[in-house]
Structure 1
Amino acid sequence: MKKVIYQSFTGIVLAIFLLACGGKKDEQQQAPPPPTPVTAVKAEKGSATYYDEFPATVTALREVEIQPQVAGNITGIFFQDGQRVTKGQKLYTIDPQQYRATYDQAVANLNVQKANLNRAQKDADRYNTLAQQDAVAKQLVDNANATLEANKMQVAAAQAAIQQVATNLKYTTIYAPLDGTIGISQVRLGAAVAPGSTPLNTISEDNPISADIQIDESQIQRFLALQNRRNSASDSTFILMLPNGQPYKYPGTIRIVDRAVDPQTGTLRVRIAFPNPEKQLKPGLNGNVRVKNSTGDPQLLIPYQAVTEQMSEYFVFVVGDSSKVSQKKVTLGARINEKVIVKNGLNEGELVVTEGTQKIREGAKVQVSQPGQPGGSRPDSSSRQTAAK
């Protein structure tokens, strides 16, 4: 009997022990995870000066194609390819022999017509004198006057012909129409040229020089205001970025805002002039024009790396009460260096997670440290997403 009681007592004790161990195990399994270490900063207002970039093509403010106005063979080239030329400088000559002969012939014809006019004038004077004395038939007087008028018109026609052939003779010598840099000649000595053929050359005005950009129609008023504003020599509103990524050392100013919006693209061309004393900029060069944009008022800014993108929408994790995070949808503005403007969805002073976003989710408890302090997670490039402008 005692043995049965002892075995029952032992079984009860063992059951209690096992139950106690199982409870501790369940408690261990249900214990909350430790806070996730993250780095966070406060959303603060700051200066919102930034730059918009526009693709640009360098172009000459003035550029002239040298076209032949008469037909003939090139008999002279009076410049070096690529050199600077001045207005009125002789560039090409076209064989003038046929035009000079035509001119001489026109002059001779004019002299003949003048001689005929002189004779007709004398005849008309004589017949009109006789008519006053009633000593000649009226028909002869009328004929003499008609012949005089005809000779006057022939002289006028001969003079016009001389002007035409003189102009052709003048066009056999081609002069520079403006100061600038001339390109590589498209013809050689002896080449046959004619009006409407390939241009002989091109002259570009290279100082100042311009860069053309295309702006959206919504920005027209902004650029018109910039055009009307007086800029100083040190103003950096317009900076040209060269193809090598370096900024051009001279700032620009708006020279021309085009007259009409392109209905196909909804854009308007703006021409920005830049000093070019060292001839560093060449027409046709491609780059970007950076245009300073400042709202004038402080804007809410957060680090760019705090933003995550999901289905073309942008979110940040905000640390709230009890060190728990919540995800907020935000509307972003322009990116300014390592920061980005937040237009909507966030309040000034809220604590935004910048590092460790890939380790947390909605409602997670975190352990916050400031950037640069121990305990913060290491930056993770995978958490950086592109911000919308």
Structure 2
Amino acid sequence: MKKFILICTLSAFPQFTALAAEQTLLNDISLDAAAVSHAGLAISTVTSGTVFPTLPVICQVMPDTTRLVHLHPAGSGKVLAVLVQPGTRVRQGQVLLRYQDHSLHLARLQDSQTQAALTAALAVQYDAAQAVQRAKQLVGQTISLAELRRRQDALAQANADVRIKQADADTLGHRFDEEFNSVSEQGARQGHNEISTLIAPVNGVVQSLDVSVAADISPAQDVMTLADLSSVWIVSDVSADQAARIQPGAQQSMDTPTGLVISRIDTVAAMASPLTGLVRLVSLAPNPTGSLVPGMVFNGTLSEKDGVTGMIIPAEAVQKIAGHSVVFVQKDITHYHPVVVDVAMDNGEQAVIHNGLKEGEHVVGHGSFSLRSILELAGMDAD
């Protein structure tokens, strides 16, 4: 019999508590300054605006493929030294690799031959120009008009030969200036040193390395890849129906150990992956400290496109009491009034209120649970 009475009492007790709580909803809660401090109440101001529903997602950090640098040597040769390894952080201009550049050696020989040929062509041009000048002075005397024309033709041929040789020299000069010496490679044009050096064209991280000491390399070979991680892609894969609720420009929040990372969705894939059936969303996030490393996975949220407008308060400000959504409005530093509100939407961080609050009012955010407990205890006492 005692067991039966105990069960009945416990089952009925919440009903009496809920009823008492309803009766005390109009009563203010009064706390002294010490109790306010102990409760850790945080006060927020009611503002009007629009809150968007959020979608929980898994976010993966990926390198921005538009900022990947694939390094190729300008010439063919044999690797002498590899000065980095995968994962090494490099600065712009840092030496990455040295190799014996056979192509540079051949280009120097060709350059010497071209310069010699240009010098010879210039000498022939000078002689032909002098011959024409003399013929013009002596034409009709010791030089015939036909001889003058022959010498003029020879000068024209010499001029054309100089232009050809100069073009050859300029082409080689361009190779030395733009190929063997560039933002990613250094190689001396003069001297007997046939060593070329690959250098980092950007600040970044060595993502991959496909070369070793004593290996043969050529211009067609991708010897290493650098990733400029000053910004990265944040990639989320969602179902097709979820993707329909997301549009470019939507806010994406990613929770990392170093803090919250906010980005904006740049692209929503036009089709789902044939392997997973998921739609890929991509946003670009700044990464000035390099704390976001490709391959990292974090929890995140996406803002959906259909927002709700109303009075905005922290989601934790809303408490459930006797089936009602209740917010505690601050009347002064020690008095708080419970108000029944109509919650139009709650995305876990913010709540939109349609009825019960006015813009500019002050409500209890963090610590509202303590006030709820006080109110419920008052209801139990009244019971």
TM-score for the superposition, normalised by structure 2: 0.54
Q: 8 Å contact 1:217–1:268 — kept in the other structure?
A: no
Task: Report the equivalent of 2:270.
Answer: 263
**Mapping of 1:257-296 within 5 angstroms?**
258=266, 261-264=268-271, 269-276=282-289, 279-290=290-301
Partner of 1:336: 348
What corresponds to 1:356 in structure 2? none
Aligned to 1:186: 210
Are the structure 2 counterparts of residues 102 and 70 from structure 1 closer, same or farther at C-alpha, using a change threshold of 3 Å? closer
Aligned to 2:311: 297
Q: What is the CA–CA distance in structure 2 between the aligned matches of 1:280 and 1:76, rounded to whole Å?
A: 30
- Residue segments in structure 1 that go unaligned for 5+ positions in a row: 1-33, 227-237, 242-246, 307-329, 349-369, 375-389
- Percent of aligned pairs with the same residue? 16
Retained in 2: the 8 A contact 1:253–1:274? no
User: Which has the bigger relative contact order, CA under 8 A and spacing at least 6?
Assistant: 2
CA contact (8 A) 1:302 1:340 kept: no
Given the alignment of the two structures, is residue 163 of structure 1 paired with residue 173 of structure 2, yes or no? yes
Residues 72, 94 of structure 1: 8 Å contact kept: yes
Work out whether residues 304 and 335 of structure 1, in 8 Å CA contact, stay in contact via their aligned partners in 2: no
- Distance in 1 between residues matched to 2:244 and 2:351, nearest whole Å: 25
Do the aligned partners of 2:310 and 2:353 also contact (CA within 8 Å) in 1? no
- Structure 2 partner of 1:230: none
The separation in 2 between residues aligned to 1:70 and 1:98, in whole angstroms, is 5
The 3-state SS of whatever aligns with 1:297 is: strand
What is the identity, as a one-letter code, of the residue corresponding to 2:228?
E
Shift of 1:76: 1.8
| Cα distance change on mapping 1:66 and 1:371 into 2, 3 Å | farther
Report how many residues are paired.
Answer: 273
Could you say if the C-alpha distance between residues 262 and 84 of structure 1 is closer, same or farther in structure 2, counting changes exceeding 3 Å? closer
- Residue of structure 2 equivalent to 1:70: 75
RMSD across aligned positions (CA): 4.8
Q: Which residue of 2 aligns with 1:234?
A: none
Residue deviations 1:262-300, cap 9 Å, x none? 332587632122453xx5431121223346899561489
Residues 79 and 98 of structure 2 are in contact (CA less than 8 Å); yes or no, is this contact kept in structure 1? yes
| Cα offset, 1:91, TM superposition | 0.8
Find the residue that maps to 1:252 and give its secondary structure: strand
Residue 303 to residue 72, structure 1, CA distance change in 2 (3 Å): farther
Q: Rate the CA distance shift 1:305–1:251 in 2: closer, same or farther, 3 A.
A: farther
* Aligned-partner residue type, residue 240 of structure 1: M
Aligned partner of 2:62 among 56, 59, 63: 59
Counterpart contact for 2:76–2:103, Cα < 8 Å: no
Q: Render the CA deviation track for 1:156-211: whole Å, top value 9, x for unaligned.
A: 232134225525544542110112232453211122223343x3223233456553
Take 1:267 and 1:188, find their aligned partners in 2: how far apart are those partners? 37
Once the 2 structures are TM-superposed, how far is the Cα of residue 88 of structure 1 from its aligned partner?
A: 0.8
Alignment partners' CA distance in 2, 1:304 and 1:117: 100
Q: Which runs of 5+ in 2 are unaligned?
A: 1-10, 26-45, 186-195, 273-278, 324-341, 357-374
Deviations along 1:48-96, whole A, 9 cap, x unmatched?
9788334322134543232334333222212354332211111112321
- Return the offset for 1:341: 7.2
Counterpart residue number, 2:259: 250
Aligned to 2:155: 145
Counterpart secondary structure, 2:210: coil
Separation of aligned partners in 2, 1:257 and 1:142: 71
- TM-score computed with the length of structure 1 as normaliser: 0.54
In the alignment, residue 67 of structure 1 is paired with which amino acid? H
Bigger Rg over Cα:
1
Question: In 1, distance between residues paired with 2:52 and 2:247?
Answer: 19
Q: Which whole-Å CA distance do the structure 2 matches of 1:189 and 1:291 have between them?
A: 47
TM-superposition CA deviations, 1:8-39 (whole Å, max 9, x none): xxxxxxxxxxxxxxxxxxxxxxxxxx989647
The 8 Å contact of residues 63 and 203 in structure 1, kept in 2 or not, is answered as yes
